[in-house]
Copies of this chain bind each other. A is one copy, B any other.
Amino acid sequence: MQNKYSEQTHLLVAVDCIIFGFDNDELKLLLIKRDFEPERGRWSLMGGFLQTDENTDQAASRVLQKLTGLHDVYLEQVSTFSNPNRDPVERTISVAYYALINILDHDKELIKQHSAEWFSLTKLPNLIFDHETMVQMAMHRLRYKASVEPIGFELLPEKFTMRQLQKLYEAIQNQEIDKRNFIKKINNLNVLVKLEEKDMTSSKKGSFLYQFDKEKYDASRFLLNIGTMDS
């Protein structure tokens, strides 16, 4: 057996993270303002090179932690980008991942260090390289995934109101949902527990808080299909 595929071209492999957060009524992305070359001063996704002792899942997780301080974040591989000239410095292929985090739940100091900021998805700045394509593909995957598995909860605090959950799904699917139909559907899924507690910040009456119950979910194993109501 040979020792190396020696004659083949070797190149760089990077990961880039599309970091989603949910702030009240809208989906946001965490972007960094590059203080390094190339493209210094422009906005981009947070990324990093694949190291010898890790796979790309681990690299994405490491890169994400570097910016947010968070461990055990929901991450999913989206696609690999490999056009020969996508990085002007040197040929690099990049594996894109999207991450879902609770927007209240990150290390503000680290974010400052990286000159990172949250942008509404509807008001993104221009991004370097092929990062805008990455964002679009990630959004597409998130839509699909959220309609099939209860990953939406990753974007919310542990306790949330029905209203918040609905607003989240409206933001993900980018369409309004009828309140009564939404609650009906969610309740059918049987994956939430209604708490005694109320959130009193949103109204005088207050609204009950709910929690995602993974055990209930694993038990019933329904396929979700949220956000295809109305037209």
Contact = CB atoms under 8 A, between A and B. Distances in A.
Interface stretch (A23-31, A78-86, A156-164, A171-179): A78-86
Nearest to A5: B90
Secondary structure dominating the interface of A: loop
A92 B5 contact: yes
Interface in A1-42: 1-5, 8-13, 37-38
A11 B54 CA distance: 13
Contact of A4 (B1, B4, B5, B90): B90
A197 to B, nearest CB: 38
A92 B11 CA distance: 10
B9 A89 contact: no
A89 B5 contact: yes
Contact of A9 (B9, B51, B83): B51
Interface residues of A, number: 36
Copies in the complex: 2
Contacts of A1: 37-38, 88-89
Contacts of A52: 9, 84, 91
A82 B10 CA distance: 15
A82 B50 contact: yes
A80 B83 contact: no
Contact of A80 (B5, B51, B56): B56
Contact of A95 (B8, B54, B82, B144): B82
A218 interface: no
Nearest to A56: B82
A55 B84 contact: yes
A12 B11 CA distance: 6
Interface of A: 1-5, 8-13, 37-38, 49-57, 77, 79-80, 82-84, 88-93, 95, 144
27 contacts: A1-B37, A1-B38, A1-B88, A1-B89, A3-B89, A3-B90, A4-B89, A4-B90, A5-B49, A5-B89, A8-B12, A8-B49, A9-B50, A9-B51, A10-B10, A10-B11, A10-B12, A13-B13, A13-B82, A50-B82, A53-B84, A54-B84, A55-B84, A56-B82, A77-B80, A80-B80, A144-B144
